[in-house]
Every structure is written in structure tokens, then in C-alpha cells.
A and B are shown apart, each in its own frame.
Chain A
Amino acid sequence: MQLTNRSKVVVKKEMSWAEKLYLPAIFGGMAITFKHMFKKPATVKYPEETREVSQVYRGVHVLKRDEQGRENCTACGLCAVSCPAEAITMEAAERKKGEEHLYREEKYAAKYEINMLRCIFCGLCEEACPKDAIYLTDRIIDSKYTRSGFIYGKDKLVEGVAPEERVDISKRKKKYEFS
């Protein structure tokens, strides 16, 4: 199957005298490198500028809250089961009286950890989630000095209650509404 029309058929023939000199080929190569000196560099000067990413980019996860600021997650464990990299662990707990404003249902995740070094950002966890709780966002993980720094707990994953701390996932959510 021909994918591009740039492929060249290899012919093993004697080189001509001019080709054996190699000088024309060398000058040709030098012309190419000289031309490249005036091309725009492909470099993105991170962190001053960041690369533009897709609107449905799969970056660091967020654990969503509902409109009243209650956590959606019920610690059912479907995300952990679906995770091909086995990056997600959690511990479930029962909601006590007086915690109704914190958790939407009777069961919630007391501990929820994603190992970002294991995660392959495939997005299967958000596909598996029946409670609209976990989504991938367009944020990327920061660099750390230790491996333990890459294990993200609830403190980093759950979005804030205040409206300005909410993470917008409408673009990714739309993706699932179509399918």
C-alpha cells in the first residue's frame, strides 16, 4: 500500500564520476542547512509560552463536585478497575450525619490517589465513571524532585467549592454526550 508519493525506489547502480567526487552532494547539503538557518524555530519557550493543546486534551484529572459543592464520587471503584495502568487506588467510607453538605451520596472516597507516573492518560476512568465524578483536564503535571510527589491525593484532585475554583470540563463532557 502506498501511503505517500515521497518513497523512492532503491537502485543499486555505479556512481558517476561527478557523484564519486561527493562535492556536489556536499554543497547540496550545505545549501539545505543554510536554508534552515532562516526558518522559524520550532521551539516553544516553556514556561514563558505554552504549547496550544486540544480542547479535549487529556491531562491531570479532576474530581468534580455537584452544583451544591458536594463530591460526586461514591468510591464505587469502577475507575480503578478500568484503569489499564492500575494507577488509581481508593478507600471508601460511609457518610456520617451532618456530612450531607460534603458528599452527595451515602458512600464517599475517604482516600483517592492517582499515581501520575503510572497513569497513561487514556481517559478510560472517566468513561467508566457512572457518577460524573472524574474527568481529565487540559492541565499538565508539574515536575517534582521525588517519586512520592507524583502520587496525587484528594487535596490535589478534588476541585474547589468556590465558583472560580471550579474546573471547566464541558468540552470533554460534550464528547460523551455525542457517543
Chain B
Amino acid sequence: MFTLNQLCCERDGRDLFAPLTLGVAAGDYVELLGANGSGKSTLLRTLAGLHSQFSGSYETVPAVYQGHRLGLDDLLTPVENLLWFAGLEGATLSLDRILDALQETGILTEAYDNCAAMSAGQQRRVAMARWMLSQRKLWLLDEPLTALDIEAQAVASRIIKEHCASGGAVICATHQPLDLTDKTTLTLTPQLAETAS
């Protein structure tokens, strides 16, 4: 799915973490750990192509990216949001598939409400439906469990597990380790001062 080769993200000319070398294949779940400010989000943004200050190299397939900002339009309903996203990917989705995905993430009853009227957790659930409906195999998730209740966290774990089982790969930055048995843990450590120079 993707390989990192001595990749080190930079911000304002400062290296964020010690260089990473890693290969991730289909079916892998990678948990990205590290203290606040250790560069987890920046690494995911780099892999998504949103951050271009880095040294080393990486190769990746097109990915689903879930940042801190969910990427849902307040003025649209979940169904409309998901249709827009599918259109962005160049796919056409049937309404049934969308409603199935919303059912699975437990937000079906709000399928036709405006996203503006939803709580943070409910919006997260809509975002989860979006990962499921995407055709892309690699998911880059930045703290996907934020604002989710216990039940929704279990749903998120299950969705991620199923995606890995069906040949996808997930890299997930989180502070709450997911309930998955088979995982690779990648911990970002700060670049040591003497090696940075």
C-alpha cells in the first residue's frame, strides 16, 4: 500500500520526528502513536499529499483522508454529503448503499437532517460511513475516535477490522488504542537534538 523511506516531516524548517522507514501491505493496520505535537497529523497530511515539507521519500496509493476537520458540509444532509464525495471520486453510488452504510454507523435516522443540526459524534459517524463507501483501499485516519461514544468506538473498530480483512490498509493516529489484535504500532519519537544538526 505504501512505503516510507527515511521519511521525516518538517515544519518551519524543524524536523518533527526521527526518520521513519516502514512498508505497509494490504491487510495491515498501523497504529500511529506519539505525544501531542510529535507530528502524527503532519505525517498523515504528508501521506495525503497536503504537506510538502519533508525529507526522505514515500510512495503511496490514493487514500481516504480523515483529518480533524471532518469535511462535511453543514448545509447538506448526510446523504447529500456522501453523494458529493462519491462524485468527487468519480463513482456513482446507489441510495441503498448509502443508507446501508449509514445504518451500519448508526446514523440512519438522521440521514435526511442537515449536518449542522448534528452533534460532533453524529457527524463523526457520517464521516465513518464515508470511509466505508470509498473505493480507495488505504485509509489515513487522524484521531477518528474523538467525540465518539462507547458504542460508536466499537463500530469504528469493527469497520476498520473489516476493511483490513477485505484487503485494505489503515493507518490511524490515536491516543486510545483500538481493540484489534493484529496491529503494527508506530511510535513517533522526537528527533534528537544532536542528530538534527
Q: Do A and B bind each other?
A: no
